Amino acid sequence: MQAPGLAHSQRLQRGVTLIGLLFWAIVIGFVAVVGLKTFPSVNEYLTIRRAVNKIADGGATTVAEIRSAFDKQKEIEYAISSISGKDLKITKEDERVVIAFAYDKEIEIYGPVYLMIKYEGRSR
């Protein structure tokens, strides 16, 4: 026979079950894998955006100069591999050169499962 206080304290105890712990470990592990696989792609996008802003502020005026400058920047920045100078859309707005770009990136998560990210941006 148990003491009445002991039975009452056992009912109030709470904790994480083994199944709950495994569930959260799987969820956190999946999010970590997706994050680690997408980080290089996001880094590439930010590098492209930085290069486009640098070229737009640099004073290049013709389409050929801008594309050539981007290709030179691409040779310097090892992270840029998804687009080249010919993929840039170059326009003028209010006497300012505007460089826009857009591309898709597929990231393999596991086997036949892929994550598709659509990137687009333009100079300031």
Q: Residue 2 falls within a domain, yes or no?
A: no
Asked if the structure places residue 53 within a domain, the reply is: yes
Q: Is residue 60 part of a domain?
A: yes
pLDDT for 16:
77
User: Cα(first)–Cα(last) distance of the chain, in Å?
Assistant: 77
Residue 75, both tokens: 């040779």
Look at residue 107 and tell me if it is in a domain. yes
Q: What is the pLDDT of residue 93?
A: 84
pLDDT at position 34, please? 93
Give the range of the structural domain holding residue 30, as residue numbers without chain letter: 16-122
The answer as to whether 6 is a domain residue is: no
State the pTM of this model: 0.77
Number of domains in the chain: 1
pLDDT for 63 equals: 87
What is the 8-class DSSP label of residue 85?
Answer: G
> Would residue 7 count as lying in a domain?
no
The pLDDT, as a whole number, for residue 47 is 92
Q: Within a 10 A sphere around the Cβ of 107, how many other Cβ atoms?
A: 15
Kindly give the parts of the chain with pLDDT less than 70: 1-13
